Amino acid sequence: MYLMNKRLHHKIAQFTDASAIKAKGLYPYFRAIESGQDTEVIIGGKRVLMFGSNSYLGLTDHPKIKEAAKKAIDKYGTGCAGSRFLNGTLDIHVELESRLASYVGKQAAILFSTGFQVNLGVLSCITGRNDYLILDEQDHASIIDGCRLSFSRVIKYAHNDMRDLKRRLSMLPEEAVKLIVVDGIFSMEGDIVKLPEMVAIADQYGANIMIDDAHSLGVIGHHGSGTASHFNLTDQVDLITGTFSKSLASLGGFAAGDAETIDYLKHKARSLMFSASMPPSAVASVLAALDVIESEPERIEKLWKNTRYAVQLMLAEGFDLGITESPILPIYIRDHDKTFLATKYLLDMGVFVNPVVSPAVPPEASLLRFSLMATHSFTQIEEAVEKIAIVFKKTGVVSAKEKNTMQGIGHYNS
Amino acid sequence: MIYPQHLCYTTGHQWVSLEAQYAFMGITDFGQRELGHIVAVDIPYLNKTLERNKFLGSIEAVHAVLDLFMPFSGVITEINPDMLKYPGLINRDPYDMWIIKILVPLIDNENLLLTADEYHALVSQ
């Protein structure tokens, strides 16, 4: 009998990107942390300053939230053993949904087990075959993948370019359902969607708006309730989605909107219906995190103070921060290899930042993603910025300041 | 006259209170006294992005009008509804009666706002 070759391994072996970086000793991913997620973590037995976290409010170590998670385990156990649709709904799931709905200013909300699953579930079912999903080219991977599962046509517009959005909407048939799906705060660039302009364009062309508030919750808006609230345009945004894995100190996600839409999602979103529900400890953590956000509003204030302080120090060093408007500070290096090298040197010196390289961004836009937490101290920020400046000199990263001086177009008094 | 230390000021008699990513803006005690009894406030640019120093609206008093200008580039996201209903409240409590809420840019290389002392010196001239 003729035996065909098994080809999977050969195919997998063609992928050499990761091993190439490992060979250089610069591999910056899956770094194991041996402590809690705080402003200082332990990696390889060494103290490292954490500037790569999405825990913007620094709540993952909050005693009230940890206590709530423990209590929930004692009462409900460690898992739900089924999907929300069937046996996996607890009273605290329902409580959290109504809490989230009123937090973001919508009629109803539905929980998913991760933020990624929210976008997969919602986008795969919310529009039909002759409809349109309109995306910002920098939207998160979960939005892209959700659209891949949809039968609708997908159109992308240039990043945060409202003229391009308008041009593309103007070419679509009037009778089609049109849904603009956009990140509130963009996770790598740190800029915020131009919502006031978008709302005006959406009204003109009969488009609905869905905002992914993954990085906006706890950061912008009234009590950190997100992008729509930030611009005071909650009624003009149809759907708000979010995750609990960033400011809200847990894991899971939600979609919020009018009661009818949420009911539709409950019966159509497959990532909801066919996956086990959020475990009790995670649900209780989010409820407690919302309590803390409400009772300790100074945290958001401190997050922004830290952000402004870091920006001030970095601009004084001449770093190129692009167009950020949030605690996500992209420090542009604009060179693939130097980005990896700088990340490695910084870790050696005790500073954790995330390298962002192609394909996540174009090669000429490689950057270090530096994100602030409310719990950072000014001293920690000073130490990190100083060390980044040293590493930039060492790796030959030309900071914006030097570049301008070299080209003779800018003049800084420092 | 009172010039609270925690506020920033403009040469156009506006005060600005920076709170996280937002700023509230109103007019100063000096400004409201100069104007006299305020009868109307007109802000035509809600939800619009305006550049620094651009005209954003005006305050009308019985005998005078004061034009307001953007203290920095940003979006006006809210106009104080209480103030719109009873503009005269600005005269009674100028630092409590904010007029607009603006989103503050994170990267702003040119801070032209005055401190309380600088503003005080300006209006004492």
Q: What is the pLDDT of residues A14-39, one digit of tens each?
A: 999 899 999 999 999 999 999 999 99
pLDDT tens per residue across span A270-310:
999 999 999 999 999 999 999 999 999 999 999 999 999 99
Q: Do B105 and A325 touch (CB under 8 A)?
A: yes
Measure in Å the smallest separation between the Cα of A412 and chain B Cα atoms.
11
Q: Do A304 and B78 touch (CB under 8 A)?
A: no
- Judge whether B108 is closer than 8 Å to chain A, CB to CB: no
Chosen for mutation from B21, B100, B113 (greatest number of chain A CBs closer than 10 Å) is B21
Q: Which of A392, A353, A387 is nearest to A370 (CA)?
A: A353
Q: Is A187 a catalytic residue?
A: yes
Answer yes or no: pTM beyond 0.80.
yes
Judge contact between A350 and A46, C-beta under 8 A. Answer: yes
Quick check: helix, strand or coil at residue A175? coil
pLDDT band at A341 (very low <50, low <70, confident <90, very high): very high
* Cα radius of gyration rounded to whole Å, chain A: 22
Task: Give me A114's structure tokens.
Answer: 């991760």
Judge contact between A119 and A113, C-beta under 8 A. Answer: no
Element (H, E) at A292: helix A280-295
Q: Which residues of A touch B20 (CB under 8 A)?
A: 300-301, 303-304
Q: Which residues of B touch A224 (CB under 8 A)?
A: none
Q: Which of A131, A65, A75, A122 is nearest to A287 (CA)?
A: A65
pLDDT tens per residue across span A156-194:
999 999 999 999 999 999 999 999 999 999 999 999 999
Judge contact between B11 and B122, C-beta under 8 A. Answer: yes
Cα A278 to chain centroid distance, Å, stands at: 19
Q: Is A75 a catalytic residue?
A: no
pLDDT tens per residue across span B19-77:
878 899 999 999 999 999 999 999 999 998 899 999 999 999 998 999 999 999 999 99
pLDDT tens per residue across span A305-330:
999 999 999 999 999 999 999 999 99
Q: What count of other Cβ atoms lies within 10 Å of the Cβ of residue A200?
A: 14
A140: left (phi over 0), alpha (psi -120 to 50) or beta: beta
